[in-house]
Amino acid sequence: MAQPSTLYDKLWDSHVVHKDEDGASLIYIDLHLTHEVTTPQAYEGLRLSQRKLHRTDKTIAVPDHNVPSTPDRLEKIEDPESRLQLETLKQNSDDFGVEYIPMGDIRQGIVHIIGPEQGLTQPGKTIVCGDSHTATHGAFGALAFGIGTSDVEHTLATQTLSMQKSKNMLVRVDGKLPVGTTSKDLIMAIIGRIGTAGGTGHVIEYQGDAFTALSMEGRMTVCNMTIEGGARAGLIAPDEKTFEYLKGKPRAPKSDAWEAAVKYWQTLNTDEGATFDKEVVINAEEIIPHVTWGTSPEDVLPITSLVPNPDDFDDPNKKSGIGRSLKYMGLEAGEALDGVPVDKVFIGSCTNGRIEDLRAAAEVLKGRKVVDSVEMLVVPGSGLVKYQAEEEGLDEIFLAAGAQWREPSCSMCLGMNPDILQPGERCASTSNRNFEGRQGRGGRTHLVSPEMAAAAAITGHLTDVRKVVSS
Amino acid sequence: MENFSVLTGIAAPMPMVNVDTDMMMPKQFLKTIKRTGLGISVFYDMRYDENEAERPEFILNQDAFRNSKILLAGKNFGCGSSREHAPWGLLDFGFRCVIAPSFADIFYNNCFKNGILCITLPEAQVEALTVQADGSDFSVDLENMQITAPDGSVTPFELDATRRHNLLNGLDDIALTLQHVGKIKAFEAKQQASQPWLYT
Ligand code: SF4
């Protein structure tokens, strides 16, 4: 019998085009997602070397990062640089024959939201994009990872990438998540445990009831933030939920091809007896809602905790790191996280901008009001998410509560469009990075789940959503 | 890509851990459609104050380090976003080599694509080099895989053979891959036969 393999081994082995003597492999890429920020220089490179695309049917382009979230976005984009970058994407896509989804199209949205929605994201595929959150697509059992612009150019020109195989890492979470704990809390707890470099050099496979119990949306949230744990890709083996999600999606296989595809997809899991280079086991029952306090996603704690004190740490690097973070964040050591006042609340991004996230936030907001001191932005991840939310009347709940209901884009996740934090402003955000200046220079980000974000909007401060819902 | 043989230059010490690519190149500079011109913006918020005046305490604003070519960095250097604007900025500033105890994967890869050599060394060795970084010249020899510090001490390093070869010769990755275009097409034919739904 063949050696037992992990899911990652299977995905890797089935895409090797060529292997060098020194171990680097040429890996075939089945789907290339492109957006305006990381592609202009790649096309410039192709033009300079007079190269064409190896093939055009495995690449799709969609504008997202620079797209304003305001209703007048089709008529005017104030920032000339943003406008030029968006026009460049359209021009390059046209010139090189790549399918392009324009801003006014209902399918437009954040690149990692539209791939699954269109059924382009499928189990067994290799998927790349010039964006580190490409890890999202691993929720379908696809090998998906972010690449830089040079590799975007390489993929356009050759439909392959030259790479070294990563190591296998297993994160196993057994048991049931307590009520009030979401997929976002789950992945933040994992990052808190392994650290932002915990997965470096590895591909993480998530196994255990905690993941199988999640919806596809929840699984995407988990895989999305895998990069925050240092691993380029996260994987969850496909199952009936995966197939159910994909069935009937515009670009999913149809009729006979569907049957054949599912049969193949069912083989995509880790064999019994396969070994991992690194394993982490966590108990789901102990995870409660989490929030970040510092400027790295690993600076995360349960909402019931106190802000850490640098003096409690021996490691001098750690000590000075925490001190620096607290200064930036404007927090006192020993202060309770529950109660820290916020100025803004952001719901959206490729981490938490899907329909389920909006439903969850609306559920908390229903019949309640955003406090006057807080500005709340709800930005659906795609035109289709927005449409679905409006069908369900979620927009009315948000508007009635006093939140703003916006158009799909990356928005305040990184503030390349006009949605940014002002210096010193504090935000409860459902995005994925709390780096210094990420949401605007001097802005202070606390990463939370959509439920926790809604709770912060109602109370005006970081708080435990479980208290809000039960009151 | 410019080839890399022996690099002699000033090494700037920056021993912070988890320096992310947002810090190296904040989002407002990602709107460019060019690779060049980003050197002036690298480490922007650490380098300039609110009025865009230089912060004198920042290492690259000190005269001895303005022309640094080597960066002595901390653990997990380059984590976060995949933006290649970060290495483009380093390169445009003049850096051709970064030495750190560990690097984030995507950043590491992006650097080599742009002719920047990343060297991973144990923390203690990076610290030992950092102590000597007073504005004097270091020398990094890729052929012989060793770093010579100002005091003459030599630190050997390791690097995988492909990266070393490509960097030494300044090889264009795409041209190398296109030598295998026959294999790529054969792979496609085989995959199309077994998974036809991928080709509709
Ligand atoms: S939503 Fe944020 S993390 Fe996701 S692709 Fe956009 S900018 Fe990147």
- The tens digit of pLDDT for each residue in A295-341 reads 999 999 999 999 999 999 998 888 999 999 999 999 999 999 999 99
Q: Other CB atoms closer than 10 Å to residue B183's CB: what's the count? A: 15
Same domain, B99 and B194: no
A462 to chain B, minimum CA–CA distance in Å? 25
CA of A397 to the centre of ligand 1 (A): 25
CB pair distance less than 8 Å for A148 and B106: yes
B14 and B91 fall within a common domain: yes
Percent residues over pLDDT 70 in chain A: 100
Which chain B positions have a beta carbon within 8 Å of A154's beta carbon?
173-174, 177
Q: What is the mean pLDDT of residues B9-30?
A: 95
Cβ under 8 Å to A: B residues 50-79 = 50, 74-76, 79
Contact status, residue A352 vs residue A450, Cβ threshold 8 Å: yes
Of B30, B45, B82, the CB nearest to A132: B82
**DSSP for A24-77?**
-EEEE-SEEEE-SSSSHHHHHHHHHTT---S-STTEEE---TT---SGGGGT--
Alpha carbon of B140: minimum distance to chain A alpha carbons (Å): 23
In a domain, residue B30? The reply is yes
- A99-100 β-sheet, strand order: A99-100, A59-61, A31-34, A126-129, A143-146
pLDDT digits (tens, 9 = 90+) for A209-227: 999 999 999 999 999 999 9
**Mean pLDDT across B131-158:** 97
Q: Alpha-carbon dihedral of residues B76, B79, B82, B87, nearest 10 degrees?
A: -60
What integer is the mean pLDDT of A101-128?
Answer: 97
B82 and B16, same structural domain?
yes
For the ranges A28-37, A70-79, B161-170, the one whose mean pLDDT is highest:
A28-37
Please provide the DSSP assignment of A168-211 as one string.
Answer: EEEEEEES-PPTT--HHHHHHHHHHHH-TTTTTTEEEEEESHHH
Instruction: Report yes or no: A201 and A309 within 8 Å, Cβ to Cβ.
Output: no
- In sequence order, the 6+-apart residues with CB closer than 8 A to the CB of A83 are A66, A77
- Token readout for A417 is 């469009």
Nearest chain B residue (CA) to A131: B82
The verdict on B112 and B128 lying in the same domain is: yes
Pocket test for ligand 1, best of A112, A114, A225, A430 (most atoms within 8 A of CB): A112
Q: Residue B131 falls within a domain, yes or no?
A: yes
Interface contact flag, A435 B181, Cβ < 8 Å: no
pLDDT in tens, A380-408: 999 999 999 999 999 999 999 999 999 99
For residue B172, the model assigns a pLDDT of: 85
**Distances in Å between the alpha carbon of B91 and those of A400, B38, B39, B67?**
51, 9, 7, 12
Which residue in chain B is spatially nearest to A14 when comparing CA positions? B191
Position B104 in a domain: yes
- Helices A355-365 and A450-459 meet at what angle, rounded to 10? 30
Q: CA B146 to CA B148: how far, in whole Å?
A: 7
Chain B from 78 to 97: CB within 8 A of any A CB: 79-84, 87
- Predicted confidence band of residue A465 (pLDDT cuts 50, 70, 90): very high
Alpha carbon nearest to ligand 1 atom 4, residue: A350
> For residue B158, is it within any domain?
yes
**3-class SS shares of chain A: helix, strand, coil, % to 5:** 40, 15, 45
Q: Which residue of B79, B81, B174 is in closest CB contact with A196?
A: B79
Task: Note whether A88 contacts B102, CB cutoff 8 Å.
Answer: no
pLDDT at A317: 83
Tell how strand A31-34 and strand A126-129 pair up.
parallel
Q: Which residues of B fall within a CB distance of 8 Å from A131?
A: 81-82
Nearest-CA residue for ligand 1 atom 1 is: A349
- Are B51 and B67 in a shared domain? yes
Within a domain: B80: yes
Can you tell me the distance from the alpha carbon of B166 to that of B113, in angstroms, rounded to the nearest whole number? 9
Full domain range(s) for residue B100: 6-169
A264 at B interface, C-beta within 8 A: yes
Q: For A34-64, what is each residue's pLDDT tens digit?
A: 999 999 999 999 998 899 999 999 999 999 9
Chain A residues whose CB is inside 8 A of the B178 CB are 157-158
Q: Cα of A410 to ligand 1 centre, how many Å? A: 5
- Chain mean pLDDT for chain A: 96
* Span B57-116, pLDDT tens digits: 999 999 999 999 999 999 999 999 999 999 999 999 999 999 999 999 999 999 999 999
Give the position, in ligand 1's atom list, of the atom nearest the Cα of A413. 2
Q: Do B113 and A151 touch (CB under 8 A)?
A: yes
Q: Is pLDDT above 90 for A77? A: no
Range of lowest pLDDT (A20-29, A139-148, A284-293): A20-29
User: Are the Cβ atoms of A423 and B109 closer than 8 angstroms?
Assistant: no
Task: Enumerate residues 6+ apart whose C-beta is below 8 A from A110.
Answer: A64, A349, A350, A353, A381, A382, A408, A409, A410
Task: Tally the domains of chain B.
Answer: 2
Nearest to A66 by CA among A99, A32, A110: A110
Which residue's entry shows tokens 């997990």? Answer: B76
Give the number of beta-carbon pairs within 8 Å between A and B.
Answer: 181
Name the band, by pLDDT with cuts 50, 70 and 90, for residue A415: confident
* A221/A74: higher pLDDT: A221
Rounded Cα distance between A245 and A121, Å, is: 11
Q: Determine the Cα–Cα distance for residues A350 and A153; give it in Å rounded to an integer.
A: 24
Q: Across chain A, how many H-helices and E-strands are there?
A: 17, 19
pLDDT value of residue A1: 57
Q: Are residues B129 and B176 in the same domain?
A: no
CB interface of B with A, residues 163-192, below 8 Å = 172-174, 176-178, 180-181, 183-184, 187-188, 191
Residues on chain B touching A151 (C-beta within 8 angstroms)? 109-110, 113
In-domain check, residue B1: no
Same domain membership, residue B11 and residue B73:
yes
**What CATH number corresponds to the domain at position B22?**
3.20.19.10
In this predicted structure, the answer to whether residue A24 has a pLDDT above a threshold of 70 is yes
Is A81 touching B (CB cutoff 8 A)? Answer: yes
Pocket of ligand 1 (CB under 6 A): A 64-65, 110, 112, 131, 133, 349-350, 410, 413-414, 431-432
Query: Which residues of chain A are within 8 Å of residue B1 when distances are taken between CB atoms?
Result: none
Asked if the structure places residue B100 within a domain, the reply is yes
Residues B13 and B28 in one domain: yes
Is residue B102 domain-resident? Answer: yes
d(CA A200, CA B166): 23
Question: What is the edge-to-edge ordering of all strands in the sheet holding A344-347?
Answer: A404-405, A375-378, A344-347, A426-429, A444-447
Mean local confidence (pLDDT), A445-451: 98
Decide if A146 touches B, using CB distance below 8 A.
Answer: yes
Residues 145-164 of B with CB under 8 A from A: 160-162
Q: Please, are residues B138 and B70 in contact by the beta-carbon 8 Å criterion?
A: yes
- Residue B173 has its nearest CB partner, among A162, A164, A258, at A162
Pairing of strands A31-34, A59-61: parallel
B51 neighbourhood in chain A, CB within 8 Å:
none
Compute the distance from residue B63 Cα to the ligand 1 centre, in Å.
38
Contact (CB, 8 A) for A303 and A452: yes
Residues B134 and B50 in one domain: yes
My answer on whether B164 and B189 are in the same domain is no
Do B52 and B84 belong to one domain?
Answer: yes
Closest CA to A227 of B3, B107, B5: B107
Over residues A173-193, the pLDDT tens digits come to: 999 999 999 999 999 999 999
Note the pLDDT of residue A2: 77
Is this prediction's ipTM beyond 0.85?
yes
Residues B124 and B196 in one domain: no
Helix (H) or strand (E) holding A361: helix A355-365
Q: What is the pLDDT of residue B200?
A: 83
d(CA A378, CA A376): 7
CB proximity under 8 Å: A 221-240 to B: 227, 230, 232
CB-based contact (8 Å) between A148 and chain B?
yes
